[in-house]
């Protein structure tokens, strides 16, 4: 070896007093420690893996009162708090069933549900019908959520009127200043400053990005980036991580605009941010009529969900409830389509989505799946109330969606 030249060889060296004996002991101790850690690590990994990846026989263990079950859920960080509050209440009724949720992200939730590594996958964006068929999964919506458009314009704290076309132009660089005539036309009487618009986007892949880009894609034929959970953005568009990061960054960005989930309404309002009234389907063609701009409220969001699903043939929930949805389609179509406000639902807020759970239609463990279905049916009936939904800023599902869900759950293979 090459280290000879530097070997400590006189009394001046600090390490000289440490003899070879202690060195050998050190090595032995290190090896012993490594072995112990390895054994402990492998053991812990095995137990954890078994617990997390579950349902291969080990999560139906027999205790004194009969078998008990652990239902694993993984996915969307928005659904996670809902699962945390639903799970223990279900366990109170059925002590032999435990719901074990994880916040991993919608993409991970879809992937784990597809490979059958979790019993329930949670996602903000629906699983496309083609993929659902391929992997034998069904989309089961469990809540309604919405997205708000916040901005930071010094000296202005009202609700601006903005529609999908204007938002798409801002995020594609066609509108760059708050005093743009197109914004002014929709906001008569508002004196907007000569201030550059700074469009913020999400750095991480996100269901919110999916919704917002869907709106842009459907509202403006010049939108160049398509729609999805991760897309290209303008180089001049700064980013933030998570809804919380969007709130923080927007609060220091003069002239900034950002799309933020309704779950963060109270945080954003506390940070001094205001949100827009968003133009519905009619505002795309008639952007100057203030009556076409709708503020997000529980009523307007529910109206959008009702309208969006009313005319779908065949009935489906795999749809974005953007602009009131696209009749007859299970995917988005360029330029919108959408459902115009009806007399029963005159003011639909246009950026709404369903929060989905994904479950296998022919599971490997039909006994466990009986409890998965029971849990979802309970969540859709007793759990579908303001008691559970309001604390996590969701809205209860509309009767149409519940009807669809219950029908879809009938098709799942369970053993009695």
Partner 1 sequence: MDQPVLRGEGSVGAAGHADPVAAPTPASIAPARRTPWWAWALSPIALLPLIFIVLIALVLLFSGDLKLLFEPGFWSFNFYFNPLAPSQAVWAFPLYLVGTALTAGIALALATALSLALAISTTVYLPAWLGRSLGTLTNLLAGIPSVVYGIWGYVVLAPYFGLTLQPALRSYLGWIPFFGGPLSETASGTGVLLASLILTIMVVPLTTAIIRDSLVSVPHPLLEASFALGATRWETTRRVRLRVARSGVRGAVFLGFGRAIGESVAVAMVIGGQTQIPPSIYSGTSTVSAFLLYQQDSAFIYPALLHALVEFAVVLLLITLVFNYLAQRASGERGAVGPTSAAGI
**For partner 1, which stretch binds (CB under 8 A), given 24-32, 81-89, 138-146, 263-271?**
24-32
Stretch that binds partner 1, among 169-177, 227-235, 345-353, 388-396 (CB under 8 A): 227-235
- Structural contact between residues 144 and 302, judged by C-beta atoms closer than 8 angstroms: yes
Do the Cβ atoms of 259 and 124 come closer than 8 Å?
no
Q: What is the rounded distance in angstroms from the CA atom of residue 107 to the CA atom of residue 204?
A: 11
Question: Half-sphere exposure of 331 toward its Cβ, with a 13 Å CA cutoff?
Answer: 10
CB of 224 to partner 1, least distance (A): 8
337 near partner 1, rule: CB under 8 A: no
Characterize the bridge pairing of strands 256-261 and 198-199.
parallel
Residues numbered 373-392 forming contacts with partner 1, rule: CB under 8 A: none
List 241, 285, 362, 407, residue binding partner 1 (CB under 8 A) = 241
Q: Which of 117, 373, 145 is nearest to 243 (CA)?
A: 145
- Candidates 106-114, 155-163, 349-357, 404-412: pick the segment binding partner 1 (CB under 8 A): 106-114
Does 411 bind partner 1 (CB under 8 A)? Our answer is: no
> What is the rounded CA–CA span in Å between residue 373 and residue 71?
11
* DSSP conformation class of 6: G
**293-294 and 198-199 as β-strands: parallel, antiparallel, unpaired?**
unpaired
Comparison of 106 and 369: residue with beta carbon closer to partner 1 = 106
The nearest distance, CB 26 to partner 1, in angstroms, is: 11
Q: Which of 26, 45, 226, 399 binds partner 1 (CB under 8 A)?
A: 226
CA-to-CA separations, 415 to 139, 328, 372, 380, 412, in angstroms, rounded: 21, 35, 12, 21, 10
Site for partner 1 contains 367 (CB under 8 A): no
One DSSP character per residue, 270-302 reads HTT-EEPEEE-HHHHH-TT-GGGEE---HHHHH
> Is residue 229 reached through a cis peptide bond, with omega within 30 degrees of 0 on the bond before it?
no
Q: Is 65 in the site for partner 1 (CB under 8 A)?
A: no
Q: Which is nearer to partner 1, 200 or 359 (CB)?
A: 200
In contact, 115 and 152? CB cutoff 8 Å = no
| Of residues 151 and 233, the one with the C-beta less far from partner 1 | 233
- Number of residues located near partner 1, criterion CB under 8 A: 63
- 155 binding partner 1? (CB under 8 A): no
Q: Shortest approach of partner 1 to residue 15 CB, angstroms?
A: 8
Which of 55, 68, 108, 292 is close enough to bind partner 1 by CB under 8 A? 108
Residue 201 CA to residue 355 CA, distance in Å, equals 21
Crossing angle of the two packed helices 366-381 and 399-410, in degrees rounded to 10:
170
For partner 1, the closer CB: 307 or 318: 318
Can you tell me the distance from the alpha carbon of 377 to that of 413, in angstroms, rounded to the nearest whole number?
A: 15
The piece of 15-23, 287-295, 339-347, 382-390 that touches partner 1 (CB under 8 A) is: 15-23
CB 60 → partner 1: shortest distance, Å? 28
Nearer to partner 1, 110 or 395 (CB): 110
CA dihedral 153, 154, 157, 162 (to 10 degrees): -10
Among the residue ranges 43-51, 183-191, 195-203, 369-377, the one whose residues contact partner 1 (CB under 8 A): 195-203
| Residues of the shown chain interacting with partner 1 in the complex, contacts defined by CB under 8 A | 1-14, 16, 19-21, 23-25, 31, 34-35, 38, 104-108, 110-111, 125, 196, 198, 200, 203-205, 224-233, 235-241, 248-249, 252-256
């Amino acid at each position: 070896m090459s280290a000879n030249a530097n070997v400590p060889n006189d009394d001046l060296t600090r390490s000289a007093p440490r003899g070879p004996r202690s060195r050998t002991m050190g090595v032995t101790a290190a090896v012993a420690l490594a072995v112990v850690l390895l054994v402990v690590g492998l053991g812990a990994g095995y137990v954890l893996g078994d617990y997390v990846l579950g349902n291969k026989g080990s999560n139906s263990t027999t205790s004194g009162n009969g078998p008990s079950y652990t239902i694993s859920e993984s996915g969307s960080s928005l659904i996670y708090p809902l699962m945390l509050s639903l799970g223990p209440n279900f366990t109170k009724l059925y002590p032999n069933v435990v719901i074990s949720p994880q916040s991993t992200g919608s993409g991970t939730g879809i992937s784990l549900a597809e490979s059958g590594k979790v019993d329930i996958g949670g996602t903000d964006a629906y699983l496309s019908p083609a993929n659902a068929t391929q992997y034998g999964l069904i989309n089961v919506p469990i809540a309604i959520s919405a997205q708000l458009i916040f901005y930071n314009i010094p000296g202005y704290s009202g609700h601006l009127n903005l529609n999908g076309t204007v938002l798409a132009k801002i995020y594609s660089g066609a509108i760059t200043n708050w005093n743009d005539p197109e914004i002014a036309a929709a906001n008569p009487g508002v004196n907007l400053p000569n201030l550059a618009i700074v469009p913020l986007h999400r750095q991480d892949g996100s269901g919110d990005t999916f919704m917002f880009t869907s709106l842009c894609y459907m509202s403006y034929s010049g939108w160049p980036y398509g729609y999805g959970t991760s897309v290209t953005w303008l180089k001049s568009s700064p980013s933030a991580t998570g809804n919380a990061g969007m709130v923080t960054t927007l609060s220091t960005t003069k002239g900034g605009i950002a799309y933020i989930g309704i779950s963060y309404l109270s945080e954003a309002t506390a940070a001094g941010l205001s949100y827009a009234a968003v133009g519905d389907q009619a505002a795309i063609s008639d952007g100057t009529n203030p009556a076409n701009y709708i503020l997000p409220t529980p009523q307007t969001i529910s109206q959008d969900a009702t309208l969006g699903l009313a005319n779908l043939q065949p009935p489906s929930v795999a749809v974005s409830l953007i602009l009131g949805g696209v009749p007859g389609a299970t995917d988005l179509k360029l330029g919108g389509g959408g459902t115009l406000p009806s007399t029963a639902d005159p003011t639909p807020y246009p950026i709404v989505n369903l929060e989905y759970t994904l479950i296998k239609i022919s599971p490997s463990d039909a006994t466990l799946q009986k409890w998965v279905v029971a849990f979802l049916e309970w969540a859709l009936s007793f759990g579908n109330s303001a008691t559970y939904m309001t604390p996590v800023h969701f809205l209860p599902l509309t009767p149409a969606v519940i009807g669809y869900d219950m029908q879809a759950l009938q098709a799942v293979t369970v053993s009695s």
